[in-house]
Amino acid sequence: MNIKGKIYQIFNTQKVSETFKKREFVVEYRENPQYPEYLKFELIQEKCELVDSLKDGQEVDVYFNLRGREWTNPKGEKVYFNSLQAWKIETLEGNGNQQAYTPPSDDELTSFSDDDVLPF
């Protein structure tokens, strides 16, 4: 899947556990210009660096996977959440500067255990 929009906000990288890190960013999506939507994406592991050179307001094309997960909280209740996991970002401005990366491997997608603090 992919979506085109403007970088709205980029957050700092978070270290979730000793072996897992993530970084979030928000894209302003204007399918209907009167009602913009703000979509939060996440990057994991080495993909966290994809937004290092990007700035707020920059036009981008974000390629992502829709992820869903079940998690049992400490009270024993099952909780479900979704995430938009970006794996490639291309800038759309006329400078020809593009960032292209391959999708994360299955190992990267499952590199955290049930002991990790979730949801994130």
Instruction: Mean pLDDT check: name the lowest of 1-10, 33-42, 104-113.
Output: 104-113
Return the pLDDT at 93. 73
Q: Tens of pLDDT along 43-101?
A: 999 999 999 999 999 999 999 999 999 999 999 999 999 999 999 999 997 544 444 44
Q: Return the structure tokens found at 64.
A: 């992502």
Return the pLDDT at 95. 46
Would the CA dihedral through 74, 66, 57, 12 be positive or negative?
A: positive
User: Does residue 37 register a pLDDT over 90?
Assistant: yes
pTM: 0.73
60 pairs with which residues across the strands? 5, 91
Residue with tokens 């913009």: 36
Q: Which fold has domain 2-109?
A: OB fold (Dihydrolipoamide Acetyltransferase, E2P) (2.40.50)
Give the Cα-Cα-Cα angle 84, 89, 93 (nearest 5 degrees). 130
Q: Which amino acid is at 68?
A: G
Return the pLDDT at 112. 54
